[in-house]
Every structure is written in C-alpha cells, then in structure tokens.
Structure 1
C-alpha cells in the first residue's frame, strides 16, 4: 500500500442527479480482507492506518440487510408502483412509508428505488426514445420551512437544472424534465415536515396533489407520524376523512421495529445478528459473538431500532480495532456511546432482560428457561 491515499467514503448526494447515478451505478464496495492478529501486528504504520481506515468505512456502511420487515416493505412498494400503469389522464395512487425514527425506512426506500432504477434501465435502456438520459427515479427531501417554490426548486435541483424563476416556472421546468427523462417514481423524504394544521403547509400539500396530476409518476413519501400530522386526511378530523382526497389516493406501509416478545421475533433478531457477524472485519471475531454472547445486550442498547444497532456496532468495531481487542464484548461496548433515544430506554430494557421478564433467545420463555 503506497502512493496517495484517499478515504473510501462515497461522498455523493443522492438528492442531485450526479450523486443519484453514482449511488445506483457504482459497484458494491469491496470488503477489506480479514487478516490475522500476527499479520496486523507486522504492518508498517502507514499500511495499518490505511487498513483500519478501510475497515472503519466498511463497518459504517454495512447493509442494507434484507430482514423480513425490509422485504415486506419492498414487496408493498413494488405492488403499488408495479400496478400504477394508468394512462396520463388518471392519477396514480401514492405510497406513504410511515414509521418511527431510526428503523431504517429511508435506507429501505432508497434501496428499493435503486433496484427499481436499475431494472428500468435494464428493461428500457439508458436513453429515452427522444434521446435523453433515462432517469426513472427522482429523489428529494423536504425542509421545515417548505414552500411551493422550494418544492419545485428541489426537483429542479435534483435534475441539476437552473433554479431561477417563480414557482410556476420551476414547476413547468420540473414537469418537462420528469417527462423527457422517463421518470416514473419520485421519492419525497421527511414528509412529516408538512403540518396540515398550518395554512402555508396545506398550500404545499395541495400542490403535491397538483403535481400528482401533471407528473406521470408514483410518489413515495417517507416520514414519521404522517397520519398524526393530518397528511392522510387533508388536515380534516377522522370523522370527516371521507371528504379527504389524500385518504383515497395514498396507501400507508409500515416498517416495524424488531420485537422479541414472540418466538418469530426472536428468530428474526438472531438471524440479523448472525448476518451482521459475517460482515465484520475483526481478527478475533467468532461465530456467536453477537448472536449468542451479546444478543440481549445489543437489543437493550438499540431498543430494537436498526439505525441505533448499526451505529453502536460501527463505533464498537472502531474501538475494538484501536484497542487491539479485535472483537466485541459487553465490557468494550459499555464504553461506546449510542444515540440519545437508545441510551434513554436502555436501563428499563436491560432490567427486564436481567430479571427474566424478556429474552431475545429463541426457544426460551420469558423466565429464561430453555
């Protein structure tokens, strides 16, 4: 390992066309080799720095992992998008992925969108009949102060088009790009920023209805507590929901957290940990290091939330590498900080697990007996 070295992070933005294409078209990241402790100890200083940097990046980007929840969400998205083959005069129903934070919903949706992009390119080719680059998916995110102009601007920004002009000019520019580039799906993340109790946000929500009639696409919205914010009821009460167009045009899909209250849930949790184990590049790792030795511990530290789990493991791996332990243990992981939400719920879950009121181990009852 000699010469100039750059980090292995792929610092693209999937909110712009160049970054989106990079995400969809770049080959999978190569996994660093699993070296022995003796081989690591024999490395020169720079060689070791490079190897450890590669492992940091690898551990920070493990996944997506096709859990049952993940697969079910993909199936639901595929069903709606695949059935939305209506002609241009008809409005295509939308999808709302509504789930708690930290469950990996954005990751799961982007993974679906990435595969959909690849399939559409394989099916139809990289260019449209008019000779334009084919871009089957548009990806944008909302902000807390979203406006109609800002929404149209975000779509134009994705296509790397000029962002000058009023809201109508930007909408026309975005609509033309969507049609000429063969876009059929638009992902809109952080839809929960729309609060239908606010007048200006209701205006933006109505603009989404307009876009769904002029853009020949399926909108996939991603957010937290979307129904509670009135997005599915046009801001109306549940009693008046029949009057809401959105409720008839949107299908909600969940992404539940991992649960260990059932045998099925415990089996899913164990399989997840076994899958992660295989991906770790630590010299002293062993089968069951996560799934057996740390199963309860990791559930308590992550509260069954995928993002919290992967953050904890990535940080734990970095500490294991720097301390030369090269494996994960509860003693080492106790020194690793996790996100605030996971840490706040940790004590109660850990107590339930230690008292035998809860277990993550398949084949055991809540009293911990086999």
Structure 2
C-alpha cells in the first residue's frame, strides 16, 4: 500500500521495454491486449473522487498514446507481401533465402507494421511447433534489431548477439559465429533489421555492408527483413555499383523491395480509406464529449492537411490533442483546440500547401464531394 494513504499503489499500464532485447520482444509478442478505458460522461467524471479521476485520466492518456496498429489497407497489403516472401522461404539450409526490404518515407508506420507482422509470425510458429526446440532450447522464431548511425559490421553482429543475451566480446567474425549458433539452436526463421539505411554510406561502405548482408543471408537459414528510409536511392541494393552496373549486384537479386504508402485523397477510393481510418480512430477515443463524426466529418480535411496523410504524424497529433482535451476539461477535439497542438516539423512544413488547396476547393478528403470550386463557409 502507498505510505500514509492506506491505498494500493497505482502503476498504470505503461509498458517500458525495448523490442531489441529478447525480454522486451517477448513482452511485445505475448503481452495482453490493452483494455479500452470506460467511456464516462462529463457528469460521471464530476462524480469521481480526485484519486479516481487521476487514475481514469492516466488510463486514458496511456490508451491514446498506444492506439494501433490499425489494419489499414496499406498495412494489410504489406503484411500479405511479407507473408508471401517469408512463408515461401522453405528452402533447405544449403540454399540462400531471398530477403525483403521495406523501404518507405519516415512517419508512415513501417516499423510498427513490420513488427506487427513479425509478432504474428512469432506467435504462429510457437502455436505450430511449440515453445521448445527438439534439442531443448527455447524457440525464438523472430528477432528484432535496430541499427544506429555509426553501425559497422561488428556492431551489426553484436546487435544480434545482444538480442539473444549472448556475450558481445570478440571481433566481427567471432560474433557472427556466435550469432549463427544461436539462430540454429533456437530455430529462428526471420530476423528484422530496422533502420538499415544507416548501413548505406559511401560507395566503399555500401560494398562492404552489402557483402556482410550477403554473408548473413548465406550463413543464417532465415529470412532477413530489412526496414529503412531511401535505401534503394542510397545504392545498398546495387552494392555501391553505378546504376549501369546494377545487374552485377547479387544483393539486389536476392532482395525484394516493398513499401508503405501515405494516405492519398486524390481519388474517391483514397478518400473512402481516409474516412474509414478516421472513423476507426474515433471509436477508440475516450473523451466525455466525443460524438459521431468528430474526426471523420468535422476534422477530416484539417487532420489531413496537418498530417499530410502520414500515419505517424496523424496519430501524434490526435494523441496530443486528446491529452490537451483531457487536461483542459474540453473533452473533445475541434479546430480551436487542435490549433494549439504542435506536430512534427515535416508535417508542419508541408501543411500550408495542402491547407491552401483544400481552402481553394482544389482538394478534399470527403467522399462524394467534387473538387474545383471554392468551399463555402459552414
């Protein structure tokens, strides 16, 4: 109990872990789904004791910060493509398994989408084959590592060993052998390497790193799933060769590029997808003054211009807006409140052009609404 209060301590539902460590990854894979907090009216909020209100608001804040992943058409398409690559890679150990590269702009939720697929793959493998390998080791079907801006070949191998809780002493070759033994003994089938663009620097560095990734593909009987930004433009798939020499690059032949697109509202199908997304998010918000159409009708154009169709920017904006709505007692999202919410620099820089196009009637997010005429004031 809390000292001096006689009440049980309240830790809330924040889950602090790193998915780049085995314990954290297992928590992400096996952790229970969050339960949406109760939807209370304003009168019910007033009836709560001060401590009950603090707890309720804390639950709401954590909930809004962790909405998702939402299975949008873009995410489902990416999952289908990843599944086709990973689950067709049933080659014996003497054959190299083709890799996947998810290469997309920042802020589209690609890391979240890939981890969501990897989580499902991990669970599927455990359900099919059990938690223990025939030799008695713990089965780890999927591992997840993220690179940093100064990652070298040894650092890449060390990140894999660190995930498995193995020693990280020794040179690059020693670490690689140690990692291979772990992959084989724990029956890993896929390795997700996030922020792989940090490996693509100079031409000579791209050649060295591509050779290292080819080595990993040769010695690890797994599917490698790379995630990064602008990887193809940086030349990693070409292994540092000039564009005209790209056919000489083995790494590019072994890697299938995939992407995740931002939401677009230039056609009716895109506008319907955007509306469906906002309606889905709207149902998940826990605000006393929430109402049908709060996002999908009244804030549709506004949220698109402020997020520029990028999922991460949209969710950051809504999360912060909900926090402000709770703490100010407004308990709803509207333009006046959202104008006070700051968003990421890229979204804020790009919003002016979109907002001008919407105001001029040249662009709309609303299905069934024709563009080309200036919108009338509501």
Fold conserved between structures, TM > 0.5: yes
| TM-score normalised by length of structure 1 | 0.98
1:213 and 1:330 map into 2 onto residues whose CA distance is 54
SS at match of 1:233: coil
Give the Å deviation of 1:198: 4.3
Query: Which digits, 9 at most, give the CA deviation of each residue in 1:308-355, with x for residues without a partner?
Result: 000000000011111111110011100000010111111111110011
The yes-or-no answer on 1:281 pairing with 2:289 is no
Instruction: Name which of 56, 59, 83 aligns with 2:61.
Output: 56
1:23 aligns with 2:28: yes
Alignment partner of 1:260 is 2:260: no
1:176 matches 2:174: no
User: Does the CA contact (< 8 Å) of 2:278 and 2:300 recur in 1?
Assistant: yes
Q: Give the corresponding residue for 2:244.
A: 239
Asked whether the equivalents of residues 315 and 336 of structure 1 are also in contact (C-alpha less than 8 Å), the reply is yes
TM-score (norm 2): 0.96
- 1:125 corresponds, among 127, 130, 140, to 130
- Indicate yes or no: 2:207 matched with 1:202: yes
Deviation at 1:201, TM superposition (A): 4.5
Q: Distance in 1 between matches of 2:372 and 2:343?
A: 28
Alignment match, 1:45:
50
Number of aligned residues? 370
Instruction: Give the distance between the partners of 1:12 and 1:148, measured in 2 at CA.
Output: 26
Aligned-partner SS, 1:231: coil
SS at match of 2:131: coil
Q: How far apart in 2 are the matches of 1:2 and 1:280?
A: 29
* Secondary structure at 1:138 match in 2: strand
- Confirm or deny: 8 A CA contact 2:157 2:179 kept in the other structure: yes
1:95 aligns with 2:107: no
Partner of 1:145: 150
In 1, Cα distance between equivalents of 2:295 and 2:257: 33
Task: Tell whether 2:329 aligns with 1:358.
Answer: no
| CA deviation after TM superposition for structure 1 residue 296, in Å | 0.1
Q: Give the 5 Å matches for 1:157-168.
A: 157-168=162-173
Select 2:9's aligned residue among 4, 22, 37: 4
- Measured at CA, do residues 89 and 196 of structure 1 come closer, stay the same or move farther in structure 2, by a change above 3 Å? farther
**2: CA distance between counterparts of 1:179 and 1:237?**
36
Point out where structure 1 has 5 or more consecutive residues left out of the alignment: none
Q: Per the alignment, in what secondary structure is the counterpart of residue 237 of structure 2? A: helix
Q: Distance in 1 between matches of 2:341 and 2:292?
A: 22
User: Deviation of residue 367 (structure 1)?
Assistant: 2.6
CA offsets, 1:111-152, max 9 Å, x none?
Answer: 000000000000101111111110000111111111111111
Over the aligned positions, Cα root-mean-square deviation in angstroms equals: 1.4
Deviation at 1:205, TM superposition (A): 2.3
Segments of structure 2 that go 5 or more residues without pairing to the other structure are: 1-5
Query: What whole-Å deviation, never above 9, does each CA across 1:209-268 have from its counterpart, x for those lacking one?
Result: 101101000000000101111011111122111111012101011100000001000000
3-state DSSP class of the match of 1:156?
Answer: helix
**Cα deviation, residue 289, structure 1:** 0.4
Deviating more after overlay: 161-170 vs 106-115: 161-170
